[in-house]
Structure 1
Amino acid sequence: MSVFRRNGNGPEPSVDFEVADPAPPPPAAPARVSAAWAGSCVAALILVILIAFMLQNTSRVDVAFLWLEGSVPLALALLIAGVGAGLVVAVVGAARITQLRRRPSSGPG
């Protein structure tokens, strides 16, 4: 018995319609593990490049900073300068993030 008939008499009405294919599932969001893996690969590549750079620049240079003076390999001097610059950027970034988190939110209304 069909839901289209009120009683058992008479022919069933024909219904022509196409069943649509279900929508494809949305693409999966990138996982944190895949981002960590990609970051690790990039870090390993940078480390290999840094090691090659340090092995090629072993000549000693004279360095003077404030009251300190010394002679260090060129690669080490540049590495220390790069790490120092990175620390300055990290401190300034952390200060800015802290400043933004302490700001009261101005929500609607």
Structure 2
Amino acid sequence: MSEHASGPPPDDPLRGSRTSAVWTGVVGLGLLLVLLIIFIAQNTQEAEVNFLGWSGTAPQSVALLIATAAGLALAVIAASLRILQLRRRVRRTR
């Protein structure tokens, strides 16, 4: 039988670390930023925007990015409320 059943030994210098996770995140965000720049560069046409009585024009890419950010914010709020609800339920049952 092997001494180590699964995974690398704790003193393995090539094991994953927080720094490697951060580096992976930075690379991923860098790629996302490049894609975002391409999206903005290709969608510079003006678009008419109307919202709750406000109206104006904005570049199409900016309008889409703002709508995406607003949708993401609503999803985060809804998910956070659900997580809080589940945590309260778990505390009550303990």
Please, what TM-score do these two structures have when normalized by structure 2? Answer: 0.78
Q: CA RMSD in A?
A: 2.2
Deviations along 1:32-88, one digit per CA (max 9) or x if unpaired, are 222222111111100110011101111101111121111100000001001101100
**Which of these residues, 82, 97, 101, is aligned with residue 68 of structure 2?**
82
Tell me, which stretches of 5 or more residues in structure 2 are unaligned? Answer: 10-14
Deviation at 1:23, TM superposition (A): 2.4
Q: Which residue of 2 aligns with 1:67?
A: 53
Q: Is 1:45 the equivalent of 2:31? A: yes
The residue identity in structure 1 corresponding to 2:75 is V
Greater than 6 Å deviation, 4+ residue runs: none
Give 3-state SS (helix, strand or coil) of 1:104's partner: helix
**Which of these residues, 27, 33, 36, is aligned with residue 8 of structure 2?**
27
CA distance in 1 between counterparts of 2:19 and 2:83 reads 25
The count of aligned residue pairs is: 87
* Structure of greater relative contact order (alpha carbons < 8 Å, 6+ residues apart): 2
CA distance in 2 between counterparts of 1:68 and 1:90 reads 25
The residue identity in structure 1 corresponding to 2:3 is A
The structure with more radius of gyration? 1
CA distance in 2 between counterparts of 1:45 and 1:67 reads 37
Q: Which residue of 1 aligns with 2:42?
A: 56
Give 3-state SS (helix, strand or coil) of 2:90's partner: coil
The residue identity in structure 1 corresponding to 2:78 is V
The residue identity in structure 1 corresponding to 2:31 is L
Aligned sequence identity (%): 37
CA distance in 1 between counterparts of 2:39 and 2:90 reads 47
Indicate how the Cα distance of structure 1 residues 103 and 30 shifts in structure 2: closer, same or farther if over 3 A, else same.
Answer: farther
